[in-house]
Amino acid sequence: MKLSLRVKFMLWLLALTGVIYLLLGSGLYVFNLHERREHPDEVAEETEELLIIYGIMAGALVPAVFVAWRVSDHLLRPLRSMLKTAREIRQGGLDQRIETPLATDELGQLALTLNEAFENYRRLLERTDRFSLDAAHQLRNPLASIRASGEICLQKPRSPAEYQDVIAGIVEDSRRLSHTVDQLLLLARLAREDLSLHFEAVDLPALARELVENLRPAFEAAQVHLNVLAPESPLLIRGAPRLLEQAIANLLDNALRFTPANGKVQMEIQKTKAGRV
């Protein structure tokens, strides 16, 4: 049989009260025996006083238990509120929070900690939902392209050169798909962590120039001119270097795919008058 915390508290309190009553009653009885020896002619009076004291103790026990029961209800009310809120959050009410009228005591601190945990849980679920949508969007196009290329290739016999072209396209789509999976795995790992833990000072122009040099052969192969305009002096921002690198690489990759031959892609980094990059 499972007992509630309130019942356990009352049983513990009753046990403690019983021990105190036993010790106090024993002490009074020993004192009464001593008084009887000292005053043998007042035995009846001493016995009557002892019985009165025992009666008062027994009579005080009932209202004391009632008061303790009411006090325990007041003390456990915040815990019941926490339990109720946790159940609502488990059922989908992610915006529910525990009321914290007193933030200085232990229960108030517990409520604040739980509210912070619930908020982190809500943000994690939101990031997970966004990650799922991004994953579905990023993976759908390369997979559709690979499937369409294979189905078209199988519709009729083709020359070795045509097969080579189809396989080359599938390999290119597979490369992009592999790159997308690597990005999604990175985002999935970072989604479980506090991104601010990965923040550091990053020289954005230097990072952009390095990426441009790495991607320049791909742009030259597609006959697309790539240029970056950025200050030579360091321009520091705080951020996660790997995420910034992925963001810039995604922009350049999209620009390469949607820019026709002999086109031009130019990336410019500058600091505005408001101090923003």
Render pLDDT for 13-50 as a digit per residue (tens, 0 to 9).
778 887 887 888 788 777 777 776 777 766 677 677 77
Backbone torsions φ then ψ of 200, nearest 5 degrees: -155, 170
Q: What is the DSSP letter of 40?
A: G
Nearest Cα neighbor of 198 from 242, 235, 237, 234 is 242
| DSSP notation for 181-240 | HHHHHHHHHHHTS-GGGG-EEEEHHHHHHHHHHHHHHHHHHTT-EEEEE--SS--EEEE-
pLDDT at 195: 62
Give the pLDDT of residue 116. 81
Confidence of residue 187 (pLDDT cuts 50, 70, 90): low
pLDDT band at 213 (very low <50, low <70, confident <90, very high): confident
Q: What pLDDT shows up at residue 2?
A: 67
pLDDT at residue 273 in the model: 62
Lowest-confidence pick of 70-74, 86-90, 271-275: 271-275
Looking at residue 175, what is its pLDDT?
77
Answer yes or no: is pLDDT of 277 > 60.
no
* CA trace torsion 270, 272, 275, 277 (10° rounding): -40
Q: For residue 228, what are the β-bridge partners?
A: 267
Specify which residues 229 forms β-bridges with.
268
Residue 103 above 70 pLDDT? no
- Tell me the mean pLDDT in the region 127-150: 75
According to DSSP, the β-strands at 264-268 and 225-229 are: parallel
- pLDDT for position 177: 78
Q: What is the pLDDT of residue 191?
A: 59
Would you state the structure tokens that stand for residue 241, as one six-digit string? 């270097």
Q: What is the mean pLDDT of residues 226-236?
A: 84
CA dihedral 72, 78, 82, 87 (to 10 degrees): 60
Percent of the chain residues topping a pLDDT of 70: 85
> 112-121, 165-174, 202-211: which has the highest mean pLDDT?
202-211
CB 90: neighbour CB atoms within 10 A?
9
pLDDT at 190 (0 to 100): 63
Calpha distance 253→39 (Å, rounded): 107
Phi-psi label, residue 115: left if phi above 0, alpha if psi -120 to 50, beta otherwise: alpha
Both structure tokens of 47? 């016995």
